[in-house]
Chains A and B, each alone.
Chain A
Amino acid sequence: DSGVTQTPKHLITATGQRVTLRCSPRSGDLSVYWYQQSLDQGLQFLIQYYNGEERAKGNILERFSAQQFPDLHSELNLSSLELGDSALYFCASSVGGGGGRETQYFGPGTRLLVL
């Protein structure tokens, strides 16, 4: 158990809908990262927040957005869902904001299925 929690574990929804995924980082960690893992794309970095501020952006679609709240938990919002958004969404956390010598600890993931 990494100490990172994610809810829900599974989510099934229809195309065009909007969902919110939630992540709580390990105690003491200030950074939260979001990743999407699909069978054909591997693990893709979406976005990073550090202490409430956006720190880095990866391959995140405009239909997706995220935020980190004062208690450091984070939410990833996915809207106008398409079939291709079906994937495993991981959240990870680390102590600091980057610097290149930090380890990320991953949550158990949320499996999203869009029908």
Chain B
Amino acid sequence: EDKVVQSPLSLVVHEGDTVTLNCSYEVTNFRSLLWYKQEKKAPTFLFMLTSSGIEKKSGRLSSILDKKELFSILNITATQTGDSAIYLCAANTGNQFYFGTGTSLTVIP
């Protein structure tokens, strides 16, 4: 059965901390791994990863994919209260997107 598992389920940190969110996947015909940020509304796209070992970076956020070990991580450095959200990862198999249940991040001032 195709599945995507995220950990931890929930994380509470102080502003300025660095966090690492994990996403492991087991899907057939894997094509890409996507990260989304969901606040009180629709998920917004962060990264798409297709190749192992190549880091994608956007400001304080970065992500990398390991296709051998079937996982991805999302790093957020110098966290801010505006980073508080649910972070979702999804494995794309071509026609379907399998989402994890998300990691809820709370950043305390």
Which residues of B come within 8 Å of A, CB atoms?
A: 29-32, 34, 36, 41-45, 48, 50, 88, 90, 92-102
Chain A: minimal CB distance from B92 (Å): 5
Closest to A105 in B: B45
In the complex, number of A-B residue pairs with CB atoms less than 8 Å apart: 62
Contact of B31 among A33, A44, A99 (CB under 8 A): A99
The CA of A110 and the CA of B100, in the complex, are separated in Å by 21
Cβ B102 vs Cβ A42 within 8 A: yes
Chain A: minimal CB distance from B1 (Å): 12
A-B contacts besides A2-B42, A99-B94, A103-B48, 17 pairs, CB < 8 Å = A4-B42, A33-B97, A35-B99, A42-B99, A43-B43, A45-B96, A48-B96, A58-B96, A100-B30, A100-B31, A100-B94, A102-B92, A103-B34, A104-B34, A105-B45, A106-B42, A109-B41
Is A107 on the interface with B (CB-CB < 8 A)? Answer: yes
- Contact size class for A? 20 to 34
Closest to B88 in A: A43
The CA of A42 and the CA of B36, in the complex, are separated in Å by 13
Name the A residues within 8 Å of B34 (CB-CB): 103-104
Cβ B101 vs Cβ A101 within 8 A: no
Closest to A42 in B: B101
The CA of A105 and the CA of B48, in the complex, are separated in Å by 12
Contact of A56 among B30, B31, B96, B102 (CB under 8 A): B96
Name the B residues within 8 Å of A4 (CB-CB): 42
Cβ A48 vs Cβ B101 within 8 A: no
Name the A residues within 8 Å of B36 (CB-CB): 106
Check A101/B48 contact, CB under 8 A, given A45-B97, A48-B96, A106-B42. yes
Is A8 on the interface with B (CB-CB < 8 A)? Answer: no
